[in-house]
A and B are shown apart, each in its own frame.
Chain A
Amino acid sequence: KAGVTQTPRYLIKTRGQQVTLSCSPISGHRSVSWYQQTPGQGLQFLFEYFSETQRNKGNFPGRFSGRQFSNSRSEMNVSTLELGDSALYLCASSLEGTGADTQYFGPGTRLTVL
């Protein structure tokens, strides 16, 4: 069974641009969560999607958005990039996203904003 895949693995953008990251969950998993990881802040929850609906959102500005498609694949978008958005963006999938589930992570997308 293939694991969680994320594309692209690396991305360099400049301030003010926007970026779209993609995540394909493990086959059969319907919940997809996104996290931002920086050295100073650790793993911070961005949002979680299930059946194309956002069920939960972390404390990030509206520049961060996401969506999920009918095949459970998910994308996240960051508009008007700032230097502080440089981070490793991780996607994780689980069956239903409930407390009894186990989350599996993708390798991440390393975003650098210049």
Chain B
Amino acid sequence: GQQLNQSPQSMFIQEGEDVSMNCTSSSIFNTWLWYKQDPGEGPVLLIALYKAGELTSNGRLTAQFGITRKDSFLNISASIPSDVGIYFCAGPDSGTYKYIFGTGTRLKVLA
């Protein structure tokens, strides 16, 4: 079945730094979703991408749908302490009404 690999698994960064993470799939996805999850809460949708090559921003966050349709990238600029959390990528498993989630990237910001 389809799998999503996220990297890095975790990262420590200094406040003010830019962050990059990515997600790769073993097969083509038609939609890429990026979520952030705070401890004990449900994931919150950050950005949705629907077209290969699409670049979409949400404040300091920018995500891109890879042109091969097998990868996606999320960048956070000028990180702040509230960016701490786990970032997940997700995409729909073709034809099964099921979303596949990546393993997550845990972000920790050092003030």
Is the pair A108, B41 in contact by a Cβ cutoff of 8 Å? yes
| Contact surface of B with A, Cβ cutoff 8 Å | 30-31, 33, 35, 40-45, 48, 50, 88, 90, 92, 94, 96-101, 103-104
Contact of A31 among B48, B97, B103 (CB under 8 A): B97
Contact residues in B for A31 (Cβ distance below 8 Å): 97
Within the complex, the shortest CB–CB distance from A37 to chain B, in Å, comes to 9
Contact of A33 among B31, B33, B88, B99 (CB under 8 A): B99
Taking residues whose C-beta sits less than 8 angstroms from the other chain, chain A's interface range is 20 to 34
Of A6, A48, A88, A106, the contact of B97 (CB 8 Å cutoff) = A48
Could you say which residues of chain B place their CB within 8 Å of the CB of A104? 45
CB-defined A-B contacts under 8 Å, sample of 28: A4-B42, A33-B97, A33-B99, A43-B88, A45-B98, A45-B99, A48-B97, A50-B97, A55-B97, A56-B98, A58-B98, A90-B43, A98-B97, A99-B30, A99-B31, A99-B92, A100-B30, A100-B31, A102-B33, A102-B45, A103-B33, A103-B90, A105-B42, A105-B43, A106-B42, A107-B42, A108-B40, A108-B41
